[in-house]
Amino acid sequence: MKPAKRKPKLPAYLSFPLTYQAVSQGLQMVTFADSIELLFSLPLSATEFRKTVTARESYPVVIAEYVRWDRALSHGDDNWIQEYHDGKWSLRVYPCARDQRAEIKNALKSRGLPFVKEWFDRKRPDSWYFGRKTCEIWLDPETQKITTKCKESPR
């Protein structure tokens, strides 16, 4: 697994529920684990995310993704662009409320990461490997229930 290039600084009320080591251990048998880029991310809107966390509403804590751009489009020759032409796997980890970190970590390690591992390792037809595909692990902080949402769009 490719380690995160940076891990954003979080406000005091947030913490990342998984570490690089926990993710690596949970996905160690994925056949292409070395090509998965691990990212620790903040949601786009910090204000909305704070409201969600404070209200203890469901939100995504892990998003696995595969993206492959169409080569027919001219995007340039930069290395990062070529990664998307070849197909890029990533795993994004989002923060959680610091006071719930231990429970969320346990739920992700026991139920979330095994599902992501299975999603990564599924047998797929060649036609699947175009467009953007995601597998989201959502957490309900009140019940510690993990739900999954997989999306597959052709472009």
Q: Does residue 134 fall inside a structural domain? A: yes
What pLDDT is stored for residue 71 in this prediction? 66
Q: Does residue 1 fall inside a structural domain? A: no
What pLDDT is stored for residue 108 in this prediction? 94
Give the amino acid at 123. Answer: K
pTM: 0.86
Q: How many CB atoms lie within 10 A of CB 141?
A: 21
Q: In what order do the strands lie in the sheet with 131-140?
A: 36-40, 88-93, 59-68, 131-140, 145-153
Q: Does residue 2 fall inside a structural domain? A: no
Q: Is the pLDDT of residue 151 over 90?
A: no
Give the amino acid at 15. Answer: S
Q: Are 63 and 135 in contact (CB under 8 A)?
A: yes
Q: Which structural domain, as residue segments, surrounds residue 25?
A: 14-153
Domain count of the chain?
1
In this structure, what token pair is assigned to residue 150? 């997989």
Report the chain's mean pLDDT, rounded to a whole number: 87
Q: Which of 155, 8, 2 is nearest to 91 (CA)?
A: 2
| pLDDT over 70 percentage in the chain | 92
Q: Does residue 97 fall inside a structural domain? A: yes
User: What confidence tens digit (pLDDT) does each residue in 85-133 have?
Assistant: 778 899 999 999 899 999 999 999 999 999 999 999 999 998 888 889 9
Residue 154's contacts (CB-CB under 8 Å, 6 or more residues apart) are: 130, 131
Residue written as tokens 């797929």? 124
User: What confidence tens digit (pLDDT) does each residue in 39-84 have?
Assistant: 999 877 878 888 888 888 999 999 999 998 776 665 666 776 777 7
What pLDDT is stored for residue 75 in this prediction? 60
Angle (nearest 5°) at CA 104 between 98 and 108: 140
User: What confidence tens digit (pLDDT) does each residue in 96-105 have?
Assistant: 989 999 999 9
User: CA separation (Å) from 46 to 43, 101, 154?
Assistant: 6, 18, 30
Facing residues of 38 across strands? 91
